[in-house]
Amino acid sequence: MIKQINLTNWKSYEKSSLYIDPLTILIGTNASGKSNVLDALVFLQRATSGLSLHQSIFGDMNISPLRGGAEWICRRGTEEFSIEVIFGSENKFIDYKYSLTVRVHETVRAEVSQEELLIQRYGPRSTTAKEKRLFYTQQQDVAGTPSIPAYFASGTNGPGKRLDLNRSFTIINQAESLLIRKEIQDAVRLVINQLQKIFVFDPIPSHMRGYTPFSDKLQSDGSNIAGVLAALEIDEKQLVEQILTDYLRKLPERDIAKVWAESVGRFKTDAMIYCSETWHDGNEETVDARGMSDGTLRYLAIVTAMLTRAEGSLLVIEEIDNGLHPSRAKILINMLRDLGRDRGIDVIVTTHNPALLDAAGNKMVPFITVAHRDLETGFSVLTPLEDIEKLDYLMARGSLGRLSTEGAIEKALMSGDSL
């Protein structure tokens, strides 16, 4: 699983880190840099899935560009950005560290400047790792050179096996098909597998109300949720729909008896979501997605994503509570915790909602990170909530939600603020 992501000269960040837990909550005011963190995860997923670095940033006919485009991908005044990711493994004494530095030439091209993969070995009683390079690149100063020398570790202490690879694509993606040592192959596959399991999800209710074809992959806007549910094997479909029903019946005033997806049309290759509702007078009514509220559809999509993502995935949801009544915040938090634990999925969410912070409670303090702007530089900074000086004093004044509403958390992060 991904344990940490470090950003250098990425968008509004000069240098900052996000620590990733089973449930990570990212808070901050508007324009603080929350979305920029999520964009870094989108970029990593794209860049290690076979797309060129240019496509990963600027998009193409089928992929939208990253927010801000070329002008804002690097921190102002710079031409390169770096992203470093630390991964855990099945062996608790071994981590992997992958770093990628990309040089961006306006809207013309983006290319690898430096790239490296390390294995970190910890002793049973040590917190200090012994690092070993599995591969690294050597920067060339020749402008426009299409290739970059990459060195892969050998059994000796020498520089390793040199291969000249295409600098328009990540080295790690190209390394997956190379004849290299098994130790490196295993590490490359682990890293790529984890990065490709990043899923940034922004369900849009208006996109979910139509008929959709059967599908085995959920779209990032949730538009094909009916097709994904309908395409499941019968036993899995019944289990997923039962869990969906259990979670959704906690939301509305009336009782939800059942939620399901059903094939429609002559060829039975399209699907629609249906919901059976029981009213106080005992009457039961069936409605499809067209008659469901935005909040219900969005919650349904989030639960579906939790139930259908592969184990070991990182699910990222922006404005997690959008469309939900504040009184349902506790239900949402409990769902993310429980399904994340049961499914082996890590979740990162962003929120502005004080009710969600109150629902999270003080036990979640170690897992909340604040995005904010440095007063002197204007650059974004990520600060774990528990690292704020005098946090105990702050929390004695009120709940997390109240502190967020009053702006007390941001004030405490301002240089020289005396609280």
Chain segment 67-78, per-residue pLDDT in tens: 877 678 999 889
Instruction: Say if residue 204's pLDDT is above 70.
Output: yes
Q: Name the least confident of 105-109, 136-140, 196-200, 392-396.
A: 105-109
Calpha distance 46→44 (Å, rounded): 5
142 and 253 both lie in a single domain: no
> Could you write out the three-class secondary structure of the chain?
CEEEEEEECECCECEEEEECCCEEEEECCCCCCHHHHHHHHHHHHHHCCCCCHHHHHHCCCCCCCCCCHHHHHECCCCCEEEEEEEEECCCCCEEEEEEEEEEEECCCEEEEEEEEEEEEEECCCCCCEEEEEEEEECCCCCCCCCEEEEEECCCCCCCCEEEEEECCCCHHHHHCCCCCCHHHHHHHHHHHHHHHCEEEECCCHHHCCCCEECCCCCCCCCCCHHHHHHCCCHHHHHHHHHHHHHHHCCCCCCEEEEEEEEEECCCCCEEEEEEEEECCCCCEEEEEHHHCCHHHHHHHHHHHHHHHCCCCCEEEECCCCCCCCHHHHHHHHHHHHHHHHHHCCEEEEEECCHHHHHHHCHHHHHHEEEEEECCCCCCEEEEEHHHCCCHHHHHHCCCHHHHHHHCHHHHHHCCCCCC
181 and 246 both lie in a single domain: no
For the chain, give the mean pLDDT: 90
Please, what is the Cα angle at 190 between 189 and 191, to 5 degrees? 90
pLDDT band at 416 (very low <50, low <70, confident <90, very high): very low
- Cβ pair 163, 174 in contact under 8 A: no
- For 313-350, the pLDDT digits (tens) are 999 999 998 888 888 899 999 999 999 999 999 999 99
240 inside domain: yes
- For 233-246, the pLDDT digits (tens) are 999 999 999 999 99
159 inside domain: yes
Calpha distance 115→97 (Å, rounded): 11
Confidence (pLDDT) at 418: 39
Confidence (pLDDT) at 143: 56
69 and 149 both lie in a single domain: yes
- Region 267-294: what's the mean pLDDT? 86
- Region 303-309: what's the mean pLDDT? 96
Q: Name the least confident of 49-53, 124-128, 402-406.
A: 124-128
* Total domains, the chain: 2
Confidence (pLDDT) at 72: 84
pLDDT band at 396 (very low <50, low <70, confident <90, very high): confident
Confidence (pLDDT) at 323: 84
361 inside domain: yes
Confidence (pLDDT) at 419: 40
377 inside domain: yes
pTM, two decimals, is: 0.92
- For 353-382, the pLDDT digits (tens) are 899 999 998 899 999 999 999 988 999 999
Q: Name the least confident of 5-14, 42-51, 83-92, 106-115.
A: 106-115
Instruction: Say if residue 140's pLDDT is above 70.
Output: no
213 and 183 both lie in a single domain: no
- Region 139-153: what's the mean pLDDT? 78
187 and 218 both lie in a single domain: no
108 inside domain: yes
- Region 183-190: what's the mean pLDDT? 94
Q: Which domain holds residue 209?
A: 205-308
- Region 177-187: what's the mean pLDDT? 90
Calpha distance 60→70 (Å, rounded): 13
- Region 176-197: what's the mean pLDDT? 93
**For the chain, what percent of residues have pLDDT higher than 90?**
63
101 inside domain: yes
292 inside domain: yes
- For 163-175, the pLDDT digits (tens) are 999 999 999 999 9
- Region 13-22: what's the mean pLDDT? 96
